[in-house]
Amino acid sequence: MKQYIGLLAFVVILICSCAEKKEETAELPKRPNILFIMSDDHAYQAISAYDDRLIQTPNIDRIANEGMLFTNACVTNSICAPSRAVILSGKHSHLNGKIDNLFPFDTTQITFPQILQDGGYQTAMFGKLHFGNNPKGFDQFKILPGQGAYYNPDFITKNEGRIKIEGYTTDIITDMTLDWLKKERKEDEPFMLMYLHKAPHRAWLPAQRHYSEFIDKTFPEPKTLFDDYVGRGTAAKTAEMNLLKHMSWAGDTKIPPSVLEDLGIPPVSPWDFGAYNGNMKRMNPEQLEEWNKVYDPMIEAFKKDFPDMSEKDQMRWKYQRYMQDYLGTIAAVDEGVGEVLDYLKESGLDENTIVVYTSDQGFYLGEHGWFDKRFAYNESFKTPLLVKWPGVIKPKSKNTQMVQNLDFAPTFLTAAGLDVPSEMQGENLIPLFEGKNEGFRDAVYYHYYEYPAEHAVKRHYAFVNEEYKLIHFYHDVDEWELYDRKKDLLEMNNVYDDPAYAETVVELKEKLKEMRVYYKDSPELDQKYIEMYNKKR
Ligand code: SGN
Ligand code: CA
């Protein structure tokens, strides 16, 4: 008997160690499909997998339920086209050259879709790119010109030139994506499909079916809605993204210019009334009629209430109007994502498809009194990231590593079994997908350039690790800020000059310097980009 038990134990140990071995050396699925879903300005605070106080996004959440939720994903430069350039090139802005929304992308440099296409992948892109030129490496694309329109948008297409499509942009982009999957995709080749929503970008026009659902809702205010920026430096104080002072009454909160004139409310920016009129003009008579049915009562109530509103009341009112429309646009994004995920499942494609949901950056939903992005502060620096890959990522897993949009290119190329060019600066995320976090980077580099420009956020670069965020604002200021990320979750207190942090400051400044060298950024490049920018303006 004893012998048997001994033998049994030996066999059990053998089986276990084989199983362990197998897991360690488990082969990745071969040439998986890649579905890259990205929305424009979609704050993680507006995805229920992260935070369910504002909106339910059951379909986007499915990606985290079947895969991994990254809770510390961030961008390298929190603005639209630069983020897209980082994603496609796998290089920081100072190396790929697309430092802001103004300069065109240098299409002579290599991007990951080109390598995938050469490597036998079918490639397609639908929606917002915002590059100023067409993408390379795509068998098919239909992209919005620039920012694109919410209603009856134009598209620049690979094969049909510029076309106008009647309808709501989010639904059109979803239909294009589904059509390509169903009718154009070849079954015998893997694909890489970029499904890129315009929503929820400003000026936040929801789909007709969501107007009434959102316009009567009241949303919880963020703790820092009335922030006076006393604990921060000049940049936070001079930024023009405050709901009360800079959110426009017409374009943003949708009060018609004629009503504003009657009430004696001046436009907050020279283009406010024009933006409103432009958006309304794009709607066809039927769409406009439906809009007026729901928005007219809101406008009537505003006319009545405005004369008695204090500045605090106006701030509160603007925050609610902002959330109603911003979140309203997300409802259609979530439905579209659901339709595409359903199709992957029905067709069986889901089993060998990596699905990514992310945004080009984070966004302020009233935190610090703000809308927009750009800063290295939390809400704009962090970006949502949900990834599923059956057989590789365990369902319902969470990852807290500091991953960046810089990492997509090397990750996708590695997943496809292709070589990653040495100039790409991102990290391969596949070990993290497999639950192996050891040795992953413990700090990231950030650099924002678009200044002087809309929203007036000053140029800055930053070193960020789990504990600290050290930021240098430069150009027309020379100011440093330090945030203790563990103690000051809301980033209200710049402790750079606090003697208790003197040693930390010295240490982190050294780390930032090393990081700039590691990523090949430099004071000379800062200067070069300032000069280029001045010339362009
Ligand atoms: C527009 C918006 C800005 C926004 C930029 C960049 N103004 O100019 O609020 O910061 O786009 O956004 S608007 O009145 O025209 O809506 S980005 O996402 O493309 O970088
Ligand atoms: Ca954006």
Q: Would you identify the CATH topology of the domain 460-536?
A: Arylsulfatase, C-terminal domain (3.30.1120)
| Ligand 1: nearest atom to the Cα of 248 | 14
* Residues 6 or more apart in contact with residue 70 via CB below 8 angstroms: 385, 386, 387, 398, 399, 400, 401, 403
59 lines ligand 1 (CB under 6 A): no
Tokens of 52: 């369910």
The string of DSSP codes covering 132-144 is SSPPSS-SEEEEE
Is residue 80 within 6 Å of ligand 1 at its C-beta?
Answer: yes
Q: Show Cβ contacts of residue 439 under 8 Å, excluding neighbours closer than 6 positions.
A: none
For position 29, what pLDDT does the model report?
Answer: 83
What pLDDT sits at residue 536? 80
Q: What pLDDT score was predicted for residue 7? A: 45
Those residues whose C-beta lies under 8 Å from the C-beta of residue 374, and which sit 6 or more positions away, are 78, 79, 239, 241, 380, 448, 450, 455, 457
Which residue's alpha carbon is nearest to atom 10 within ligand 1? 372
454 in ligand 1 pocket by Cβ < 6 Å?
Answer: yes
Q: Just give the CATH number of 29-205+329-441.
A: 3.40.720.10
Dist. CA 83 → ligand 2 center (Å): 8
Give the pLDDT of the chain (537 residues) as one tens digit per residue: 444 444 444 444 444 444 443 344 468 888 999 999 999 999 999 999 999 999 999 999 999 999 999 999 999 999 999 999 999 999 999 999 999 999 889 999 999 999 999 999 999 999 999 988 899 999 999 999 999 999 999 999 999 999 999 999 999 999 999 999 999 999 999 999 999 999 999 999 999 999 999 999 999 999 999 999 999 999 999 999 999 999 999 999 999 999 999 999 999 988 899 999 999 999 999 999 999 999 999 999 999 999 999 999 999 999 999 999 999 999 999 999 999 999 999 999 999 999 999 999 999 999 999 999 999 999 999 999 999 999 999 999 999 999 999 999 999 999 999 999 999 999 999 999 999 999 999 999 999 999 999 999 999 999 999 999 999 999 999 999 999 999 999 999 999 999 999 999 999 999 999 999 999 999 999 999 999 999 987
Instruction: Tell me whether the CATH fold assigned to 29-205+329-441 matches the one assigned to 460-536.
Output: no
pTM over 0.85: yes
Residues 411-427: pLDDT tens digits? 999 999 999 999 999 99
pLDDT in tens, 115-162: 999 999 999 999 999 988 899 999 999 999 999 999 999 999 999 999
Q: Which atom of ligand 1 is nearest to the CA of 275?
A: 14
For ligand 1, mutation pick of 99, 143, 201, 279 (most atoms within 8 Å of CB): 201
Where are the domains positioned within the chain? 29-205+329-441, 460-536
The pick from 147, 249, 269, 373 for probing ligand 1's pocket by mutation, whose C-beta has the most ligand atoms within 8 angstroms, reads 147
Quickly count helices (H) and strands (E) in the chain. 18, 14
Q: Whose CA is nearest to atom 1 of ligand 1?
A: 202
Residue to mutate (ligand 1; options 100, 197, 202; most atoms within 8 A of CB): 202
Q: Whose CA is nearest to atom 20 of ligand 1?
A: 80
pLDDT at residue number 427:
98
Ligand 1 center from residue 202 Cα (angstroms): 6
Which region, left, alpha or beta, applies to residue 173 given φ > 0 means left and ψ of -120 to 50 means alpha?
A: alpha
Residue type, 110: I
Which residue, among 91, 34, 23, 140, has the nearest Cα to 420 in the 3D structure? 91
Look-up: residue for tokens 């020279």?
270
What is the number of the ligand 1 atom nearest to the C-alpha of 147? 19
Counting from 1 in the atom list of ligand 1, the atom nearest the Cα of 80 is: 20
